[in-house]
Amino acid sequence: MLPEELEPFLKELGQPRFRTKQVFKWLQTGISSFDEMTDLPKNLRTVLEERCLLTGVTVERKLCSQLDGTVKYLYRLHDGAHIESVLMKYEHGYTVCISTQVGCRMGCSFCASGLNGLVRNLTPYEMLSQVIFAGRDNGVRISNVVMMGMGEPLDNFNHSVRFLQLVSHPQGLNIGLRHISLSTSGIVPGIYKLAEYAFPITLSVSLHAPNDGIRKSIMPVAKRWSVAELIQACRDYQKVTTRRISFEYALIEGVNDSEQCAEELARLLKGLLCHVNLIPANPVRENSFQKPDRKKIELFRTRLEKSGMNATIRRTLGADIEASCGQLRRRVEKELQREGNKP
Ligand code: SAH
Ligand code: SF4
């Protein structure tokens, strides 16, 4: 709940106005029960315990990279489902990559998160709680958030919007919307709906192909909306927010890494204020995709730059801890199942 919603709710419970600020503040601290709200009257804590559900995360596994300090969390939710989150350290501060759903229904063929489909949407507090916990566990202030973990944020639209409102709230974590990125596989109506809010966030679009043929072969969402429709939505979105759009392009050997692809991509994005983020594809056990060699990746970038595009190759973080999304959850859930099956 946002403070303006919390206030009438607490009023209904016969509470004075100043309680709103108190309760909202507590909800930013990562508490796991209402009883921890120690400056609230005992009877109010009991009523909250009865009427409300705290859907915070608890750690199932935590992996720390020896290479670059990246921390990967596998969280357990109140119903036993699991999600992944990553804390990354950059020169400008700490970034948390959060999940927005348990699993994902989009079915991109290179991605481990969607292998078993969608289990359920995350609540706004389950998203917020990933940011709170990472900051608290490491004793740091989180300056940036990327909605790039497991799940498709625009397929959980209302909760993603509410998360943005909560995480940027001045009485809450107060993380500026300019420091938040939302990544989508390209749900076109969702992009238009998001434009209505005109949030100054960075929209990140997982393009991965310069044309419908290739895109359809790796992303089922491309069968629903064409590349042309997607790019038009991006152009329209940009008219509203005037913010640079970021295009994610996972380079997969032999699929989308040719020089022709780079040229086609540059033509497609011409005139759009954007940045291309080249991601060497992360191999996933369940598929046979590989990343191209370094030379080919560099060549792809050079081609884009020669055509006037702004492109960078994403630095790999946490390479020693399965930091790419969806893989840790699969492994640990299998382990837990085996343990559970033991007599
Ligand atoms: N569902 C949203 C956000 C989560 S996925 C989306 O698809 O944009 C975050 C990013 O990781 C996306 O750009 C996605 O395409 C990319 N990704 C998924 N699996 C990958 C893999 N095996 N290698 C490289 N990038 C991958
Ligand atoms: Fe879902 Fe994104 Fe993975 Fe595609 S890449 S399956 S949209 S999480």
Residue found by looking up tokens 């315990």 in the block:
49
Residue 113 near ligand 2, beta carbon < 6 Å: yes
Domains and CATH numbers, the chain: 1-54 (1.10.150.530), 56-338 (3.20.20.70)
Contact 234, 198 (CB under 8 A): no
- 324-to-86, 110, 213 alpha-carbon distances in Å: 9, 11, 26
From the CA of 291, the nearest ligand is 1
**Dist. CA 32 → ligand 2 center (Å):** 30
Question: What's the pLDDT score for residue 4?
Answer: 96
Residue 101 CB less than 6 A away from ligand 1: no
CA quadruple 214, 216, 221, 226: dihedral positive or negative?
positive
Instruction: Please indicate whether residue 156, judged by its CB atom, sits closer than 6 Å to ligand 1.
Output: no
Q: For 118, how many CA atoms within 13 A lie in the half-sphere containing its CB? A: 14
From the alpha carbon of 152, which atom of ligand 1 is closest? 1
The Cβ of residue 143 has, within 10 Å, a number of other Cβ atoms equal to 15
Nearest atom (ligand 2) to Cα of 219: 4
Report d(CA 121, CA 309) in Å as an integer. 36
CB 26 within 8 A of CB 48: no
Q: For residue range 181-233, what is the model confidence (pLDDT) as tens digits?
A: 999 999 999 999 999 999 999 999 999 999 999 999 999 999 999 999 999 99
Q: Which residues are catalytic?
A: 84, 325
pLDDT tens, the chain, 343 aa long: 999 999 999 999 999 999 999 999 999 999 989 999 999 999 999 999 999 999 899 999 999 988 888 999 999 999 999 999 999 998 889 999 999 999 999 999 999 888 889 999 999 999 999 999 999 999 999 999 999 999 999 999 999 999 999 999 999 999 999 999 999 999 999 999 999 999 999 999 999 999 999 999 999 999 999 999 999 999 999 999 999 999 999 999 999 999 999 999 999 999 999 999 999 998 887 778 999 999 999 999 999 999 999 999 987 777 777 656 677 888 888 888 888 755 4
pLDDT at 67: 86
Whether residue 177 has its Cβ less than 6 Å from ligand 1: no
- The per-residue pLDDT for 343 is 43
Helix (H, G, I), strand (E, B), or coil: what is residue 28?
A: coil
Measure the CA–CA gap between 235 and 272, rounded to whole angstroms.
7
Nearest Cα to 301, choosing from 263, 269, 331?
263
Angle at 143 between CA 159 and CA 1, to 5 degrees: 30
CB atoms within 10 A of CB 305: 15
Ligand 2 close to Cβ of residue 152 (< 6 A): yes
Report the distance separating Cα 343 and Cα 339, nearest Å.
9
106 Cβ closer than 6 Å to some ligand 2 atom: yes
Spatial separation of the C-alpha atoms in residues 200 and 177, rounded to whole Å: 6
Neighbours of 51 (CB within 10 A): 10
Contacts of 333 (CB under 8 A, 6+ apart): 82
Query: Is ligand 1 within 6 A of the CB of residue 206?
Result: yes
| Atom 3 of ligand 2, residue of closest alpha carbon | 111
Cβ neighbors of 60 (< 8 A, separation 6 or more) are 74, 75, 76, 82, 332
Q: What angle do CA 256, 228, 303 make, to 5 degrees?
A: 40
State the distance between the two ends of the chain, measured CA to CA, in whole angstroms.
43
Q: Phi/psi at 105 (nearest 5 deg)?
A: -95, 0
Of ligand 2's listed atoms, the one at least distance from the Cα of 185 is 7
Going from the Cα of 58 to the center of ligand 1, the distance in angstroms, rounded, reads 24
- State residue 323's pLDDT score: 57
Query: Using CA positions, which residue lies closest to atom 1 of ligand 1?
Result: 152
Ligand 1 pocket mutation pick from 88, 102, 106, 111 by most atoms within 8 angstroms of CB: 111
Residue 324's pLDDT is what?
Answer: 61
Among 145, 122, 150, 148, residue whose Cα is nearest residue 132: 145
